[in-house]
Amino acid sequence: MYTRAYDCPNCGSAVAFPSGIAVFAVCGFCRSNVIRRDADAVLEQLGRQAQLPPDLSPLQIGTSGVYTCHHFTVTGRIRVGYTQGSWNEWLIEFGEDRWGWIAEAQGFYAASFEIPPPPDLPERGALTLGATLRIGEVEYRIKDIKTTEVLGSEGTLPVVAVPGRTAVSVDLGGPDRQFANLEFSDTGTRVFVGHTLTFDELEFSELRPLPGWTTDRLEKETTGSDALNCPACGAAIELRAAGQSMRALCGHCGSLLDTSHPRLRIIEQAIASEPRLIIPMGRRGRFDGVEYACIGFVRRRDAEGYSWQEYLLFNPFAGFRWLVTYDGHWSWVAMLPEEPRKVDDLPAHDGRGYRLFSSGSATVTEVWGEFYWAVRIGERTLVSDFIAPPFVLSQEHYPDLTEETWSHGRYLEPGVVFSAFGLTGIPKERTGTYLNQPNPHVEKGRTLRWLMPVFGIAWLLISLISAGTKDQDRAFRESFSVDLTGTNKTHVSAPFRIGGTHPQALQIDLHTPVDESWVELDVDLVNTKTKEVRELSLAAEYWSGVDDGEAWSEGSRQAGELVPAVEPGEYRLVMDVDGSPGLGRAEFLVEVTRDVMVWSNVILGLAALLAYPVFRWIREHAFERERWSVSDHSPYTPISSGWGSGYDDD
Amino acid sequence: MRIKTPVYLTFGTALCLYLAAAGRNGYSLVKTFSPSRLLPHSPATQHK
């Protein structure tokens, strides 16, 4: 392995250049910037740099990892700052003079490799946020443009990275987590391409011990590496995300401090007092198997006056997460390393399409704790929320920063949050329907959406088979003429036979030529053997006339009744006949048809099968209607009901 | 596949089975409780 050591031009200590690509090193003893001008090892000292500020990065010089099945070792670092934050650029070497960079910021990692600038690369001034740019075969979108400054460096590097060196950095995102960076500086234009990765994907080893996270917490107290004092009141400031936080509130005097440098600086004095926090600062909770510390709190308010709270969580390996709460509802939110792909102008993520729910501006009204960006009260963000409950995609555009971020959230039951952080008390009762609150009726509705057709088809098939196999035989037909003026109005039919081998439905019909009169039969269907009687009543009436020159009629000269489940056998009809006063004689015909289809079963059964799905559908849509009632993009027609109990979530 | 509506599944299955049985035996949902009685002294017996 190539390793050459030289004497530091300043202090004479050994300065190692472990690879042929290294042209710059920082003397580990006196912090001199040492430049190797050529292979003959003509060294030059270019000033000294201060110790890099402490941070909670899990990487260090000597950390090894794997990228696309190739092992690498971290050999150098540049700490890069910009107006709103800072990040680490770690030099990774694969051996045989192959090298690249891993950018580490807020728990995100991007491995990139330098390529020659394309000949058609636009000038810096022609690049605008959101514009697309093709590099090679990949079309990227510009995510971020910022002026950067080298804050410090360590190890050996293939570039001269003295503090104060400035450049314009343009970050680009492509499909499938592809990443590119353009760097414009006085030494020329450099182009890097690669991928964004997770901490686990890089399979790091030889990581740096992190007090309080990978080692005993006692070590944290004794090292005191991240214990600082407020320049306004002198109170101790404990940074929980040292090296990654840009702003912190002094817990004693409420001053907003710049924490991007070891020497804290006052941004604004006494601007805040400790708010009523649901999750105390520093409290740790475990989500998805990862422990996070609550390090910051922000309250935002939109143009309509709705206010919600956001708790910033930190884990040095996983980065930052948010817990957002409004009116008792909670969401777990993580920033996305890349913009979601678009389908019909709407974002899609993890195979799910999202619908625009709301868009507008949000303003920071309250802050507490520490933050990885230069937060300030009054900071305005343009926010668009897209939902696919229980998930939400939020697009945040920072007009002041020419920066756009996307984050992905999922709805949490309040009890989950309280349990994870060991919070005492009862979670605030939820009010209204939140934008990504899961519809409790959807799961049942999903089952019904396939179960209902299954039953419907079964119902139809059974009905068709049943109707197709009916005999529908005439079992009895007889005409009667009954004197209604006599005392005996009971008539008994001749016996008739109901055939078949199993119980069946009978249809008994009455036909009578009544006119301006009625005939009624109280019928007993009598089984001559078992003496079982089935009772029914048949009535027919017919009325007609002319009113105002218009003919009318009502009633019917026939009536029918179904008698279910009649056993085969011999039967008679015993009929009590009655009719209109003055009718004299009742002339009528009675017909009995055996083994008829009971169509009412088909109709009623279908109604019974539909009733529950329809009920669930109404509930499901009522929930969705309430959810969308506060959206400007509701697919439903507006209704008058409001959302929540009030504007402020206190 | 998880069934989220076991009651409805049971109800629908029972209803389909009922329709199949009703189709064969002439049952009626409407007239499940249609009146019937035994007739020890029916006029029908007098006419036999």
Residue A54 preceded by cis peptide, ω within 30 = no
Tokens 């933050």: give the residue. Answer: A371
| Among B11, B12, B39, beta carbon nearest to A531 | B39
Cβ(A536)–Cβ(A563) under 8 Å?
yes
Which of B3, B4, B9, B18 is the best substitution to test chain A (most A C-beta atoms within 10 A)?
Answer: B4
**pLDDT at B38 exceeding the cut of 50:** yes
pLDDT value for A168: 94
Name chain A contacts of B34, Cβ cutoff 8 Å. Answer: 534-536, 563-564
> What's the per-residue H, E or C state across A430-454?
CCCCCCCCCCCCHHHHHHHHHHHHH
Question: What is the average pLDDT across A104-117?
Answer: 90
Give me the half-sphere count of Cα atoms (radius 13 Å) on the Cβ side of residue A497.
3
**pLDDT at A65 exceeding the cut of 80:** yes
As a whole number of angstroms, the longest Cα–Cα distance in chain A is 141
pLDDT value for A224: 38
Average pLDDT, chain A: 87
pLDDT in tens, A398-424: 776 667 789 999 999 999 999 999 998
pLDDT value for B48: 36
Q: Is A206 on the interface with B (CB under 8 A)?
A: no
Burial of A564 (0-12, 13-18, 19+ CB in 10 A): buried
Q: A535 and B8: CB-CB below 8 Å? A: no
Which SS3 state, helix, strand or coil, does residue A104 take?
Answer: strand
Question: What is the average pLDDT across A605-615?
Answer: 91
pLDDT value for A400: 67
- Which run of H or E residues covers position A25? strand A24-26
What is the C-alpha radius of gyration for chain A, rounded to an integer number of angstroms?
Answer: 42
Q: How far is A435 from chain B (nearest CA, A)?
A: 24
Name chain B contacts of A447, Cβ cutoff 8 Å. Answer: 2-5, 8
Q: pLDDT tier at A217 (50, 70, 90 boundaries)?
A: low
Stronger pLDDT, A19 or A457, i.e. the higher one: A457
Q: Is B45 on the interface with A (CB under 8 A)?
A: yes
- Is the ipTM higher than 0.85? The answer is no
For helices A599-628 and B6-25, angle between their N-to-C axes, nearest 10 degrees: 160
Q: How far is B27 from chain A (nearest CA, A)?
A: 5
How far apart are alpha carbons A101 and A112 in whole angstroms?
Answer: 5
The residue type at A445: G
Q: Is A492 on the interface with B (CB under 8 A)?
A: yes
Burial of A514 (0-12, 13-18, 19+ CB in 10 A): buried
Q: Is B35 on the interface with A (CB under 8 A)?
A: yes
> Is CATH 3.40.228.10 what the domain over A473-596 is classified as, yes or no?
no
The residue type at B27: Y
CB contact residues (below 8 A), chain A span 36-65, against chain B = none
Lowest mean per-residue pLDDT among A37-46, A470-479, A612-621: A37-46
pLDDT value for A268: 85
Cβ(A400)–Cβ(A382) under 8 Å?
no
Q: How far is B6 from chain A (nearest CA, A)?
A: 10
**pLDDT at A377 exceeding the cut of 80:** yes
Q: pLDDT tier at B44 (50, 70, 90 boundaries)?
A: very low
pLDDT value for A401: 63
Checking DSSP bridges between strand A247-249 and strand A256-258, what pairing results, if any? antiparallel
Q: Is B36 on the interface with A (CB under 8 A)?
A: yes
Measured in whole angstroms, the distance separating CA A444 from the mean position of its chain's CA atoms is 19
Q: Is B9 on the interface with A (CB under 8 A)?
A: yes
What CA–CA distances, in Å, run from A330 to A208, A218, A418, A478, A622?
34, 33, 11, 77, 22
Q: Is A342 on the interface with B (CB under 8 A)?
A: no
How far apart are alpha carbons A435 and A391 in whole angstroms?
Answer: 9
Which among A197, A160, A161, A152 has a CA at the least distance from the CA of A179?
A197
pLDDT in tens, A309-364: 999 999 988 889 999 999 999 999 999 888 888 888 899 999 999 999 999 999 99
CB contact residues (below 8 A), chain A span 552-571, against chain B = 562-566
Q: Residues A623-629: contacts with CB within 8 Å, 24+ apart?
A: A623/A433, A623/A439, A623/A440, A623/A441, A624/A439, A626/A432, A626/A433, A627/A389, A627/A433, A627/A434, A627/A435, A627/A437, A627/A439, A628/A357
pLDDT value for A17: 79
| Among A463, A505, A609, beta carbon nearest to B28 | A505
Name chain A contacts of B31, Cβ cutoff 8 Å. Answer: 562-564
Stronger pLDDT, A205 or A28, i.e. the higher one: A205
Where are the domains positioned within chain B? 1-27
What CA–CA distances, in Å, run from A178 to A181, A193, A196, A506?
11, 8, 6, 76
| Bridge partners for A126 per DSSP | none
What CA–CA distances, in Å, run from A449 to A444, A455, A612, A619?
9, 11, 12, 14
| Among B11, B26, B42, beta carbon nearest to A565 | B26
Q: Is B28 on the interface with A (CB under 8 A)?
A: yes
pLDDT value for B35: 62
How far apart are alpha carbons A412 and A272 in whole angstroms?
Answer: 29
The two tokens of residue A308 are: 């919600």
**pLDDT at A487 exceeding the cut of 90:** no
**pLDDT at A227 exceeding the cut of 70:** no
Strands (E), A230-345: 236-238, 247-249, 256-258, 265-268, 284-287, 290-302, 307-315, 319-326, 329-335, 341-343
Q: pLDDT tier at A194 (50, 70, 90 boundaries)?
A: very high
How far apart are alpha carbons A228 and A259 in whole angstroms?
Answer: 10
Q: How far is A500 from chain B (nearest CA, A)?
A: 11
Checking DSSP bridges between strand A558-566 and strand A504-511, what pairing results, if any? antiparallel
Question: What is the average pLDDT across A245-256?
Answer: 89
Percent of chain A with pLDDT over 90: 53
**pLDDT at B41 exceeding the cut of 70:** no
Lowest mean per-residue pLDDT among A52-56, A84-88, A495-499, B4-8: A52-56
DSSP sequence for A182-233? EEEETTEEEEEEEEEE-TGGGT-BSPPP-BTTTB-HHHHHHH-TTEEE-TTT
Q: Is A607 on the interface with B (CB under 8 A)?
A: no
Which among A33, A50, A38 has a CA at the least distance from the CA of A4?
A38
pLDDT value for A398: 77
Question: What is the average pLDDT across A9-37?
Answer: 81
Q: pLDDT tier at A42 (50, 70, 90 boundaries)?
A: low
**pLDDT at A39 exceeding the cut of 90:** no
Lowest mean per-residue pLDDT among A83-87, A134-138, B23-27: A83-87
**pLDDT at A643 exceeding the cut of 50:** no
| Among B18, B25, B47, beta carbon nearest to A492 | B47
Lowest mean per-residue pLDDT among A129-133, A271-275, A605-609: A271-275
The residue type at A341: R
Q: B42 and A574: CB-CB below 8 Å? A: yes
**pLDDT at A207 exceeding the cut of 50:** yes
pLDDT in tens, A525-563: 999 999 999 999 999 999 999 998 899 999 999 999 999
Stronger pLDDT, A105 or A168, i.e. the higher one: A168
How far apart are alpha carbons A197 and A67 in whole angstroms?
Answer: 9
Q: A601 and B37: CB-CB below 8 Å? A: no
Q: A612 and B5: CB-CB below 8 Å? A: yes
The two tokens of residue A485 are: 């003026």
Q: Is B3 on the interface with A (CB under 8 A)?
A: yes
Burial of A171 (0-12, 13-18, 19+ CB in 10 A): buried
| Among B3, B8, B23, beta carbon nearest to A466 | B23
Q: A600 and B40: CB-CB below 8 Å? A: no
Q: Is A574 on the interface with B (CB under 8 A)?
A: yes
Q: Give the length of chain A.
A: 650
How far apart are alpha carbons A626 and A643 in whole angstroms?
Answer: 8
Q: Is A383 on the interface with B (CB under 8 A)?
A: no
